[in-house]
């Protein structure tokens, strides 16, 4: 029987957990087991259909494993005997372990819509060949309907229009696309940017049925409207892949995710850890369970899990939820709470907003206006969240906000923030929008205004 000190089941967060384990415990033998022959960069999947041109250009190289001394076994683990500490593979091979990490991720949510199993209907599975087939179908498609206007649906719409003469419609059940992630003003701006490309956006509309015989020919909306379609893409969320964990007797929690403590150790078995989309998450802000699934959280949890396998080292601070997206050349990003979420949770808050070009002078080539909206707790002045739109720098500015949130910085702290600036690279230090937004919030926070 094959054996390893640590067996990790999974892909993206699995690799990260393996690397973290080897860094902390270089003497340990680590084996990564994964179903996929090739691991895709999950967040890069929409770009397969435009910018990068194919699944082969969007992979996580196995060299990462080799370079970190991690063994790889390709295949599906089908059972775990926790008493004997033995994993059985689909082909019957058995592997013994001392510590086991579940990093089995998530699969796309497929709703029980009439006709959903017709040919030409694709969920966004993280599978190389499946997504290759989708690329071929898309290259022949004339009318694409994307169900779901979250960031996956919006990115797909933006990418699959590139280089194709194709009609694309995004159907979103809520009043705004991206509404689960951003405040209305940013949703409006993102929708406008996508509409400018010719993509048709239908909000407040629900797909009720997929039409056609064997192959999809259209979709029927709850409003009675029908849309012609020879390709339907589902982008409406994901569910945790925890069947194997459940079968092996591991306790599941919120939305069928694996119950773990802040050390990423399962509640059921001290030798079994979990991280990534399959692991339960608690909010950084109030400790309540949250259903957010992001690569940033998955890899952070994986680093924590890998470090804690043989000795408690890091403690998870909870999910801050940081994300960014790019729509028709404009970046949108959020860290922490939006104003909508703050309102829904009865949190008393103060807003500070600012905007500035991301170069100085603003007339430099490719200069883009950055918009920043910060939310501070009314009673303490602590930063709870920040939303941005602008050029590519927004992708890193949101990470600055995430660090400020994690360290509970107040508006006062942020006023004193010393940012590095450069004419061609950043906004002017006089109007740096993160700092200016904080300056504006300080006045009402002090009760002056
Ligand atoms: C289209 C798309 C775009 C996204 N964009 C972003 C983004 O821009 N930013 C962001 O932060 N997040 C983004 N996400 C979310 C992000 O991809 C996930 O949070 C991330 O992939 C989670 O990583 P994971 O390792 O937990 O799970 P997964 O990536 O789902 O990996 C799980 C792996 O485990 C393997 N596996 C499962 N069961 C077994 C088994 N029994 N035996 C062996 N192997 C098994 C699977 O085959 C898979 O390879 C995006 C997701 C999608 C689908």
Whole-number pLDDT of residue 449: 55
Can you state the angle between helices 184-195 and 151-160, rounded to 10 degrees? Answer: 20
Protein residue with its CA nearest to atom 15 in ligand 1: 294
Q: Is 197 exposed, middle or buried (0-12, 13-18, 19+ CB in 10 A)?
A: middle
| Binding site membership of 323 for ligand 1 (Cβ less than 6 Å) | yes
| Binding site membership of 299 for ligand 1 (Cβ less than 6 Å) | no
Q: Rounded to two decimals, what is the model's pTM?
A: 0.96
Q: Which of 17, 19, 33, 43 to mutate to test the pocket of ligand 1 (most atoms within 8 A of CB)?
A: 43
Q: Write out pLDDT tens, residues 343-393.
A: 999 999 999 999 999 999 999 999 999 999 999 999 999 999 999 999 999
Whole-number pLDDT of residue 448: 61
First to last CA, the chain: 72
Whole-number pLDDT of residue 93: 98
Measured in Å, residue 128 CA sits from the centre of ligand 1 at 12
Whole-number pLDDT of residue 447: 79
Helix (H) or strand (E) holding 414: helix 411-415
Beta strands in 306-440 (DSSP E): 322-327, 330-336, 349-357, 369-377, 383-390
- Give the three-class secondary structure for 146: strand
| Binding site membership of 21 for ligand 1 (Cβ less than 6 Å) | no
From residue 406, how far is each of 351, 374, 377 by CA, in Å?
18, 14, 14
Measured in Å, residue 424 CA sits from the centre of ligand 1 at 36
Mean pLDDT of all residues in 151-175:
96
What tokens were used for 242?
């925890």
Measured in Å, residue 319 CA sits from the centre of ligand 1 at 17
Q: Write out pLDDT tens, residues 218-267.
A: 999 999 999 999 999 999 999 999 999 999 999 999 999 999 999 999 99
Q: Write out pLDDT tens, residues 35-90.
A: 999 999 999 999 999 999 999 999 999 999 999 999 999 999 999 999 999 999 99
Q: Write out pLDDT tens, residues 75-105.
A: 999 999 999 999 999 999 999 999 999 999 9
Whole-number pLDDT of residue 64: 95
- Locate the ligand 1 atom nearest the alpha carbon of residue 105 and give its number: 27
| Binding site membership of 8 for ligand 1 (Cβ less than 6 Å) | no
Percent of the chain exceeding pLDDT 70 equals 100
Is there a contact between 49 and 160 (Cβ–Cβ < 8 Å)? yes
412 CB contacts (<8 Å, ≥6 apart)? 381, 442
What tokens were used for 304?
């924590």
53 CB contacts (<8 Å, ≥6 apart)? none
- Give the three-class secondary structure for 367: coil
Protein residue with its CA nearest to atom 3 in ligand 1: 43
Whole-number pLDDT of residue 218: 98
What count of other Cβ atoms lies within 10 Å of the Cβ of residue 90? 11
Confidence of residue 302 (pLDDT cuts 50, 70, 90): very high
Q: Write out pLDDT tens, residues 397-449.
A: 999 999 999 999 999 999 999 999 999 999 999 999 999 999 999 999 987 65
């Amino acid at each position: 029987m094959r054996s390893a000190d640590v067996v990790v089941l999974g892909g993206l967060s699995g690799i990260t957990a393996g690397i973290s384990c080897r860094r902390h415990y270089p003497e340990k033998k680590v084996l990564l087991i994964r179903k996929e022959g090739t691991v895709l960069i999950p967040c890069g999947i929409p770009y397969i259909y435009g910018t990068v041109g194919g699944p082969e250009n969007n992979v996580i190289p196995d060299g990462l494993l080799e370079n970190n001394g991690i063994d790889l076994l390709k295949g599906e683990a089908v059972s775990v005997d926790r008493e004997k500490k033995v994993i059985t593979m689909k082909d019957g091979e058995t592997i013994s372990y001392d510590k086991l990490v579940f990093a089995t991720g998530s699969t796309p949510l497929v709703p029980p819509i009439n006709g959903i199993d017709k040919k030409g209907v694709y969920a966004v599975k993280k599978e190389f060949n499946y997504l290759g087939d989708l690329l071929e179908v898309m290259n022949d498609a004339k009318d694409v309907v994307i169900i779901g206007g979250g960031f996956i649906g919006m990115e797909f719409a933006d990418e699959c229009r590139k280089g194709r003469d194709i009609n694309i419609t995004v159907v979103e059940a809520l009043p705004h696309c991206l509404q689960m992630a951003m405040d209305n003003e940013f949703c409006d701006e993102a929708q406008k940017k996508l509409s400018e490309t010719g993509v048709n956006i239908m909000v407040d509309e629900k797909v009720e049925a997929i039409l056609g015989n064997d192959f999809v020919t259209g979709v029927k909306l709850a409003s009675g409207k029908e849309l012609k379609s020879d390709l339907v893409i589902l982008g409406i969320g994901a569910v945790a892949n925890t069947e194997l964990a459940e079968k092996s007797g591991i306790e599941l929690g919120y939305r069928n995710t694996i119950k773990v403590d802040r050390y990423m150790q399962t509640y059921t078995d001290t030798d079994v850890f979990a991280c990534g989309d399959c692991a339960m998450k608690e909010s950084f802000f109030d400790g309540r369970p949250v259903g957010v699934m992001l690569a940033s959280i998955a890899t952070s949890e994986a680093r924590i899990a890998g470090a804690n396998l043989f000795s408690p080292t890091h403690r998870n601070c909870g999910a801050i939820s940081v994300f960014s997206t790019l729509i028709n050349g404009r970046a949108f990003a959020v860290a922490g709470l939006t104003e909508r979420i703050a309102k829904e949770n009865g949190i008393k808050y103060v807003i500070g907003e600012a905007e500035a070009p991301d170069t100085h002078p603003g007339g430099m080539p490719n200069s883009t206006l950055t918009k920043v909206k910060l939310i501070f707790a009314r009673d303490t002045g602590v930063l709870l969240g920040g939303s941005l739109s602008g050029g590519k720098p927004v992708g890193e500015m949101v990470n600055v906000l995430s660090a400020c949130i994690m360290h509970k910085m107040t508006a006062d702290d942020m006023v004193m923030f010393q940012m590095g600036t450069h004419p061609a690279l950043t906004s002017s230090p006089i109007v740096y929008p993160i700092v200016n937004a904080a300056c504006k919030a300080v006045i009402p926070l002090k009760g002056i205004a």
